[in-house]
């Protein structure tokens, strides 16, 4: 069989620990035998980030701007324990944070649905994609404990010295206060990323805030979404046969529970943090979630939603068998290859991505899976495979498609 050729390279961001091991296996077993793989390789493994003073992370994000599509392996975000484990010069920042800051994107997460791993919510038939705004609000807050009686005010001082003042509260006793902010530019980017992604995957877009209570703050989110939609996207949505739907956050939660899925749910930062954990655990497992960062300029970075699976890596190092689920990492590759194929007009590459995803799903539905899935499947007597065994089983299925 002739290998599929590529035009433009993918930006390949290698990572750490067990996912780095899976990365190699996936390339050897599932990609290189079928594709003349073209990538520009960046080693984001912690050792190389440390050796390059983290320049490699910035360079990989810049390369994503140049080529448009990247695929990223999970990486360690250093903490105190990692400082000594890897003898680090500095506690380097989260690579995902660095990349997100450069690409200014929104992260879209969707469950990979397979028969036998049923969502806890019975009526959910199709995936629900969460789009989480990744800037500001409570994540960039300023807080204060109020010791006793007194007055708290919100003061804005313009560069020309003019001021605006609002009373927060006249305290009669101790309490707490919090200041939050967001930027219209960031909200606009968030809105455009969501509208573009909805058009991309041809699904309805839902957005919700608490604008009835928060008449300035949340209402600004609502207004910006609506203005951008009316001015730039309404016609495109009509043409694609999809809708943009705004409602209150509590109404959205009630509707989500009663829906059958199959849409994108755009969430403010905090709502997205909370709701994405609810959605992923209700659908089954973090190892069965896709995750893609989409920039307002239309750059894409695909990754798995889970981490480097450190516990399994230590077992692997000790020579013990591991049964780590590679599906989310495989779907990061297929997402990136499909997007590359679409942008470069390579239907064979798009077709290969579709087939590889189908092979993953058929393998699991056929009863062969990793331990994490065997624990939650409704299938009787699933066959539990080790990390490499599972990838080889997917290859066998792939070769029959
Ligand atoms: P984790 O790597 O997601 O793993 C947590 C636990 O979830 C694992 O111990 C395992 O449970 C289960 N799990 C996750 N992925 C799995 C898979 N593919 N197959 C089977 N089981 C899976 O999170 P963590 O242990 O909190 O973090 C480890 C490192 O990852 C940290 O250094 C963190 O900084 C980094 N991290 C990176 C990213 C990213 O790059 N996107 C995201 C999150 C965390 P059992 O042990 O019970 O089998
Ligand atoms: Mg969270």
Q: Which two tokens stand for residue 230?
A: 């009316």
Q: Cα(75) to centroid of ligand 1, in Å?
A: 10
pLDDT of residue 373: 95
Ligand nearest to the CA of 369: 1
Q: Which of 283, 307, 327 is the last residue of a domain?
A: 283
Does residue 105 sit in the same domain as residue 210? no
Q: Cα(235) to centroid of ligand 2, in Å?
A: 35
Does residue 71 sit in the same domain as residue 95? yes
Mean pLDDT score, 381-395: 98
Q: Cα(108) to centroid of ligand 2, in Å?
A: 14
Does residue 124 sit in the same domain as residue 167? no
Residue 384: CB atoms within 10 Å: 16
Pocket test of ligand 1: the residue of 308, 331, 370, 377 to mutate, having most ligand atoms within 8 Å of its CB, is: 308
Q: Which of 243, 260, 283 is the last residue of a domain?
A: 283
Q: Which residues contact 382 (CB under 8 A, 6 or more apart)?
A: 116, 367, 368, 369, 373, 374
Ligand nearest to the CA of 305: 1
The pTM for the full model equals 0.89
234 phi and psi angles, rounded to 5 deg: -55, -50
Query: pLDDT tens digits for 41-89?
Result: 999 999 999 999 999 999 999 999 999 999 999 999 999 999 999 999 9
Residue 1, pLDDT above cutoff 80 = no
Residue 224, pLDDT above cutoff 80 = yes
Query: pLDDT tens digits for 297-344?
Result: 889 999 998 999 999 999 999 999 999 999 999 999 999 999 999 999
Does residue 167 sit in the same domain as residue 194? no
Does residue 319 sit in the same domain as residue 226? no
Q: Is 286 in the pocket of ligand 1 (CB under 6 A)?
A: yes
* Structural domain that includes position 112: 1-117+291-401
Mean pLDDT score, 257-279: 93
Distance CA 109, CA 129 (A): 5
Residue 39: CB atoms within 10 Å: 18
Q: Which two tokens stand for residue 226?
A: 């609506």
Q: Cα(276) to centroid of ligand 2, in Å?
A: 7
Does residue 76 sit in the same domain as residue 35? yes
Does residue 218 sit in the same domain as residue 240? yes
Does residue 230 sit in the same domain as residue 373? no
Pocket test of ligand 1: the residue of 47, 293, 306, 369 to mutate, having most ligand atoms within 8 Å of its CB, is: 306
Cβ proximity of 16 and 76 under 8 Å: yes
Does residue 127 sit in the same domain as residue 227? yes
CATH label of the domain that carries residue 389:
3.40.718.10
Does residue 10 sit in the same domain as residue 88? yes
Domain count for the chain: 3
Does residue 373 sit in the same domain as residue 238? no
Distance CA 225, CA 236 (A): 15
Does residue 99 sit in the same domain as residue 109? yes
Residue 352, pLDDT above cutoff 80 = yes
Query: pLDDT tens digits for 181-205?
Result: 999 999 999 999 999 999 999 999 9
Q: Is 94 in the pocket of ligand 1 (CB under 6 A)?
A: no
């Amino acid at each position: 069989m002739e290998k599929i050729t590529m035009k433009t390279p993918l930006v390949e961001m290698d990572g750490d620990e067990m996912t780095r091991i899976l990365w190699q296996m996936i390339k050897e077993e599932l990609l290189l035998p079928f594709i003349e793989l073209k990538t520009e390789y960046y080693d984001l493994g912690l050792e190389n980030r440390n050796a390059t003073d983290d320049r490699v992370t910035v360079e990989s994000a810049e390369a994503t701007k140049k080529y448009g599509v990247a695929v990223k392996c999970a990486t360690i975000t250093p903490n105190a324990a990692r400082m000594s484990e890897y003898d680090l010069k500095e506690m380097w920042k989260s690579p995902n944070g660095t990349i997100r800051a450069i690409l200014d994107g929104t992260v879209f997460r969707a469950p990979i649905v397979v028969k036998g791993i049923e969502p806890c919510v019975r009526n959910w038939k199709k995936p629900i994609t969460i789009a989480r705004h990744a800037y500001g609000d409570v994540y960039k807050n300023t807080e204060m404990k109020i010791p006793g009686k007194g007055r708290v005010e919100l003061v804005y001082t313009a560069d020309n010295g003019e001021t605006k003042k609002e009373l927060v509260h006249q305290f009669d006793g101790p309490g707490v206060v919090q200041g939050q902010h967001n930027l219209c530019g960031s909200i606009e980017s968030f809105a455009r990323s969501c509208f573009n992604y909805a058009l991309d995957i041809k699904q309805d877009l839902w957005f919700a805030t608490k604008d009835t209570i928060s008449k300035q703050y949340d209402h600004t989110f609502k207004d910006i979404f609506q203005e951008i939609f009316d001015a730039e996207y309404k016609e495109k949505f009509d043409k694609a046969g999809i809708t943009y739907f705004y409602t209150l956050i509590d109404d959205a939660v009630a509707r989500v529970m009663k829906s059958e899925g199959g849409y994108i749910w755009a969430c403010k930062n905090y709502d997205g943090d909370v709701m994405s954990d609810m959605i992923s655990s209700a659908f089954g497992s973090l190892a069965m979630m896709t995750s893609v960062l989409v920039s307002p300029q239309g750059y894409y970075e695909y990754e798995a939603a889970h981490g480097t699976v450190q516990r399994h890596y230590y077992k692997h190092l000790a020579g013990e068998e591991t049964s780590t689920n590679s599906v989310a990492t495989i779907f990061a590759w297929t997402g990136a290859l499909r997007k590359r194929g679409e942008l470069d007009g390579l239907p064979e590459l798009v077709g290969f991505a579709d087939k590889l995803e189908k092979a993953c799903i058929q393998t699991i539905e056929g009863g062969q899976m990793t331990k994490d899935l065997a624990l939650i499947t409704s299938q009787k007597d699933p066959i539990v495979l080790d990390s490499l065994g599972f990838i080889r089983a997917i290859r066998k299925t792939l070769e029959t498609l």
